[in-house]
Amino acid sequence: MRMAHQRTVLTGLLMSALLFLGSLPARAEIGFRHPSYIVVDAATGRVLTEFEPGAMRYPASLTKLMTLYLAFEALRDRRITLDTSIPFSERAAAVEPVKLGLAPGSTITVQEAILSMVTLSANDAATALGQYLGGGSISRFAEMMTLRAHALGMAHTVYANPSGLPNPRQVTTAYDMAILARRLILDFPDQYHWFSTRRFLFRGRWIRSDDGLLKVYPGADGIKTGYTHAAGHTLISSAERGDVRLIGVVMGTQTIPEIDGAMTALLNEGFAEENAPSPPETELAESGHPLPSFVSGLIVPAQAATAPQPSDPPLVAERDWGVQVAAYTSERMASYVADLGGRIVGAGRADVERAVTGGRTLWRARIIELSAAEAHAGCRALAHHKLPCWLLPPRAGGEIASR
């Protein structure tokens, strides 16, 4: 299937799966009724997949990436050093809710500010650093942020503060955020390592990163999470496999599991499209997000087979039953999920079945050659891992029914 057609199918499926209720609200009503996302190749900027990448969103703490971009510029130009002392004004000390909690008059170094922003997402540190770089003025620094954004090609981004705390004037798009993430990687390769920090010691206490994918996704090395009530959960992730680096942006989910699952599926699909080497199976199995319930554009729910419920298995010993996890537009994704499902079920054989439905080619991830008892127990095991499962009972001739 050609790439253009794949993207068309993907977009159509996502619109259905995400229950898209209409077009984007007017600018005065910026919010989210569905997530938007984009995945790009970091080296070339080529878009691999996208959904509503130009939809206006509140950036939440993704804002801190521009604050850091300007800080890295200042470091490069030797206007500051990592040891430069950053004072905490009353305004910086008063911001809520996520913060280092230092009193007015306290100081931190630039290095401490960077580390606290990429791990804790400390709003007080971002405010103090922005105020310092803006010559004492938050509004001046916000203007600097917006001007730099537009110079980078982020045409639909406006900044109002250095932290991402709610402000109706502070808006962006997933597309613009992908530009910024890519520029951080390309423009400051000597500074990008900060984003992979999982924890650091700050004055006697450990501060840990809140980026879940950084801890579990094979090849992930940053870069930023965010959340406000108006923005929902936002996430930019970068991961590298072989000589392929991808950047993913997801904006506007309701929960952390949704956004982590979405990013996992999107990066998996992107690496498959780029023919990147696969990580060891043990890493995939332990990634924490084997099959996201979100990003259903990569997942087409299978139709339930008419069969007894898992709690009521028929007493048949033949191994002519199966289970189906889901169907995909990607054969690689279906194969991956079938293998993973097979390990969870602990019996039978992983299988991928090609099907054409409504003119679309789908790939069904299945585990076959099961007894009835194994199929029912397998569905219970998959449900324990929060994975869907449909029983595939045998037909009269002993063949697994294909639904």
Q: d(Cα 159, Cα 170) in Å, to the nearest integer?
A: 5
Catalytic residue among 36, 99, 116, 121: 121
**Bridge-partner residues for 207, per DSSP?**
200
Token pair 């991961």: residue: 239
Q: Is 64 a catalytic residue?
A: yes
- Concatenate the DSSP letters of all residues of 316-383 into one string: --SS-EEEEEEEES-HHHHHHHHHHHHHHHTSSEEEEEEEEETTEEEEEEEEEEE-HHHHHHHHHHHH
Long-range Cβ contact pairs of 156-161 (< 8 A, separation 24 or more): 156/54, 156/56, 157/59, 159/63, 159/66, 161/63, 161/127, 161/130
Q: At what angle do helices 123-133 and 138-151 cross, to 10 degrees?
A: 80
Annotated catalytic residue 99 = no
Q: Considering just the CA atoms, what is the radius of gyration of the chain in Å? A: 24
Q: Which helix (H) or strand (E) holds 30?
A: none
Annotation says 121 is catalytic: yes
97 preceded by cis ω (within 30°)? yes
**Residues forming the active site:** 61, 64, 121
